[in-house]
C-alpha cells in the first residue's frame, strides 16, 4: 500500500491506547483529578488523539507555544501556525501538580484521556490575539474565545482512552489513518483537500472540479466542530454535499468526510493550519480560497495566499492551490473567475451570503447559476424551520 504523502514531521501520530493498556489507564483515570474540557478543547483532543495534529503529542508547553505564537514554528523548527493549548482557571490550576497525571473529560463527564501534566504556565492573551488573529478586538469570534478561556495553560502529553463520542455523521467520521487507507485503496497518488464551513454553491463546485482536473482524488472535508452561531449547521451543509455528490460528481473520485476541528477564524494563520491538518489526513494538495477562514474585515482578501510564501514549499509538504472567487458569467456562459473571465461585474451572477439568506426567508430559490436546485431546496427547507436563527 503506497502513501500519498508522509504526515507532518514524518510520522502519523496515534495517541489512542488499546487493549489491556487501555483498561489499565481507564481504571487509573477514575482515581485522578479530572478536568472538564469545553467543546473546542475536546475537538483539539480528538485531533491530537487521531493524528490530525501530527507531530503534536499533547497540549503545548511553553517551549512550543512561544515560537508558534511568535514565528509559526514548533521548537523543532517545523511550521505550525496555531497554538494547541489547554487553558484552565487559576482556581483549577491550584489543585494540580506538575509531574502528576490529570484525567480529561468532556462536558458530560466522560473521561476521554489522561494527561501527564509537565508544566503550568502563564501567557499573554493579547500577544496571542495580536500575532495569531492579527487583532486584539474582542468582537472577533476567535479572539473572544481566547479572552474567555482560563488564564493558565497546561502543557503535557496525552494518552487517549476514547476518542470523543459522536452520534452525528457516523459514516463520515474518518480518521487520518482511515482517509489514507481509503486513498490507497483507490490508488490515488495525489489528493486535493477542500475545507469548508459554508453550504456548497456552484462557485465551490467549480473550484473543486478545476482542482480535480489535475489530481487523482478530492477529499471534501467540511469542518463540523464548533463554529459561530450564525454559520449554517453542519447537518444541513452535509445534506447539501450529499445531494451534490449524488448528482454531479464521479463517485470514484471523491470522498466526503468531516473534520472535527473547531473554527478559529484566524484567517491566514488558520489557512496554514488547515493545510497541515489535511496533509496529516493524506492530502497532497489543498485549496485555499479568497479570505480563507476569515471573518468580518479583519484580513485582506489574499492574506491567506500570501502567508504561504513565508515557508519554503518542502517545509509544508502539502501544495496549496490558490483560487479567487468564482461566479457564473453570462457572456462566457460558464463558471469563471477574474483570472479567466475578462467581462465586467454586470455580466456576473454573484450574491452575498446575506442576500441569499434574504431570498431563502422569502421562500425564493437562488438562481441556478448560483446554486444547484437540489442544494437550494435543502437550504430553503432549513431556512424555514424553527431552528433558523438569523
Ligand atoms: Zn466572462
For residue 193, the 8-state DSSP code is: E
Q: What's residue 1's pLDDT?
A: 62
User: Cα angle vertex 277, ends 275, 279, to 5°?
Assistant: 70
Note whether 79 and 316 are within 8 A (CB): yes
Relative to beta strand 334-337, strand 101-105 is unpaired
- 270: phi then psi, degrees, rounded to nearest 5: -75, -25
pLDDT averaged per 10 residues in sequence order, the chain, 390 residues: 90 97 97 95 97 98 98 98 98 94 96 98 98 97 96 98 89 95 97 89 95 97 82 86 95 95 94 98 95 88 94 95 94 95 95 85 90 92 66
Catalytic residue among 197, 269, 278, 372: 197
Separation of alpha carbons 220 and 208, rounded Å: 9
Q: What's residue 70's pLDDT?
A: 98
- Any catalytic annotation for residue 198? yes
Residue carrying C-alpha cell 451543509: 237
- 59: phi then psi, degrees, rounded to nearest 5: -75, 140
Give me 175's grid cell.
Answer: 480518521
- 249: phi then psi, degrees, rounded to nearest 5: -125, 145
Catalytic residue among 22, 62, 110, 198: 198
- The DSSP annotation for 299-365 comes to S-TTHHHHGGGGS-HHHH-SEEEE---EEEETTTTEEEETTT--S-GGGEE---HHHHHHHHHTT-P
Distance 139 CA to ligand 1 centre (A): 38
* H-run or E-run covering 146: helix 141-148
Distances 137 to 127, 129, 229 between C-alpha atoms, Å: 12, 8, 18
Distance 363 CA to ligand 1 centre (A): 30
Distance 370 CA to ligand 1 centre (A): 15
Which value, in Å, is the radius of gyration of the alpha carbons in the chain? 21
Q: What's residue 386's pLDDT?
A: 52
- Any catalytic annotation for residue 331? no
Distance 321 CA to ligand 1 centre (A): 22
Q: What's residue 390's pLDDT?
A: 41
pTM given for the model:
0.94
Note whether 118 and 154 are within 8 A (CB): no
Distances 171 to 43, 67, 255, 257 between C-alpha atoms, Å: 18, 38, 11, 8
Separation of alpha carbons 176 and 280, rounded Å: 6
Among 56, 151, 38, 10, CA closest to 105: 38
What protein residues have CB closer than 5 angstroms to ion ligand 1?
A: 329, 331-332, 341, 343
Separation of alpha carbons 154 and 158, rounded Å: 11
Note whether 72 and 268 are within 8 A (CB): no
Distance 348 CA to ligand 1 centre (A): 7
Distance 214 CA to ligand 1 centre (A): 23
Note whether 19 and 88 are within 8 A (CB): no
User: Cα angle vertex 303, ends 297, 222, to 5°?
Assistant: 80
Q: What's residue 385's pLDDT?
A: 78
Q: How does 215-226 read in b/e, with b if 16+ C-beta sit within 10 Å?
A: bbbbbbbbbbbb
Relative to beta strand 191-196, strand 348-349 is unpaired
Instruction: Work out whether the CA dihedral 303, 309, 311, 316 comes out positive or negative.
Output: positive
Distance 326 CA to ligand 1 centre (A): 11
Give me 146's grid cell.
Answer: 481566547
Give me 363's grid cell.
Answer: 421562500
Q: What's residue 197's pLDDT?
A: 79
Q: What's residue 387's pLDDT?
A: 52
Q: What's residue 157's pLDDT?
A: 98
Distance 344 CA to ligand 1 centre (A): 7
Distance 205 CA to ligand 1 centre (A): 18
Distance 340 CA to ligand 1 centre (A): 8
Q: What's residue 351's pLDDT?
A: 86
Give me 94's grid cell.
Answer: 491550584
Distance 337 CA to ligand 1 centre (A): 8
Q: How does 151-180 read in b/e, with b if 16+ C-beta sit within 10 Å?
A: ebbbbbbbbbbebbeeeebeebbbbbbebb
Q: What's residue 29's pLDDT?
A: 97
Amino acid at each position: 500500500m503506497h502513501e500519498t504523502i508522509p504526515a507532518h514531521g514524518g510520522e502519523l501520530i496515534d495517541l489512542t491506547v488499546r487493549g489491556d493498556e487501555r483498561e489499565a489507564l481507564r481504571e487509573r483515570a477514575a482515581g485522578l483529578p479530572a478536568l472538564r474540557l469545553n467543546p473546542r478543547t475536546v475537538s483539539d483532543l480528538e485531533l491530537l488523539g487521531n493524528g490530525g495534529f501530527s507531530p503534536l503529542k499533547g497540549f503545548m508547553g511553553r517551549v512550543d507555544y512561544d515560537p508558534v505564537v511568535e514565528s509559526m514554528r514548533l521548537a523543532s523548527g517545523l511550521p505550525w501556525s496555531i497554538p494547541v493549548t489547554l487553558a484552565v482557571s487559576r482556581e483549577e490550576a491550584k489543585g494540580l501538580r506538575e509531574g502528576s497525571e490529570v484525567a480529561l473529560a468532556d462536558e458530560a463527564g466522560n473521561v476521554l484521556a489522561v494527561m501527564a501534566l509537565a508544566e503550568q504556565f502563564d501567557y499573554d492573551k493579547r500577544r496571542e490575539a495580536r500575532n495569531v488573529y492579527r487583532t486584539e478586538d474582542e468582537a472577533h469570534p476567535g479572539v473572544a474565545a481566547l479572552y474567555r478561556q482560563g488564564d493558565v495553560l497546561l502543557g503535557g502529553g496525552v494518552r487517549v482512552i476514547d476518542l470523543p463520542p459522536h452520534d452525528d455523521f457516523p459514516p463520515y467520521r474518518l480518521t487520518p489513518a482511515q482517509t489514507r487507507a481509503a486513498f490507497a485503496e483507490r490508488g490515488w497518488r495525489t489528493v486535493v483537500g477542500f475545507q469548508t464551513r459554508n453550504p456548497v454553491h456552484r462557485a465551490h463546485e467549480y473550484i473543486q472540479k478545476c482542482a480535480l482536473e489535475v489530481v487523482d482524488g478530492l477529499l471534501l472535508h467540511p469542518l463540523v466542530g464548533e463554529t459561530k452561531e450564525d454559520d449554517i449547521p453542519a447537518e444541513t451543509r452535509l445534506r447539501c454535499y450529499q445531494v451534490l455528490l449524488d448528482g454531479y460528481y464521479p463517485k470514484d473520485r471523491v470522498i466526503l468526510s468531516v473534520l472535527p476541528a473547531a473554527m478559529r477564524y484566524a484567517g491566514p494563520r488558520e489557512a496554514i493550519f488547515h493545510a497541515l491538518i489535511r496533509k496529516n489526513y493524506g492530502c497532497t494538495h489543498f485549496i485555499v480560497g479568497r479570505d480563507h477562514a476569515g471573518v468580518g474585515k479583519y484580513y485582506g482578501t489574499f492574506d491567506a495566499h500570501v502567508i504561504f510564501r513565508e515557508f519554503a514549499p518542502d517545509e509544508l509538504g502539502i501544495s496549496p492551490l490558490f483560487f479567487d472567487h468564482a461566479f457564473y458569467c453570462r457572456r462566457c456562459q460558464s463558471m469563471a473567475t477574474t483570472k479567466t473571465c475578462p467581462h465586467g461585474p454586470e455580466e456576473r451572477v454573484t450574491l452575498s451570503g446575506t442576500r441569499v439568506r434574504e431570498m431563502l426567508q422569502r421562500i425564493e430559490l437562488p438562481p441556478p447559476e448560483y446554486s444547484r436546485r437540489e442544494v437550494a431546496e435543502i437550504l430553503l427547507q432549513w431556512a424555514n424551520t424553527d431552528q433558523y436563527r438569523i
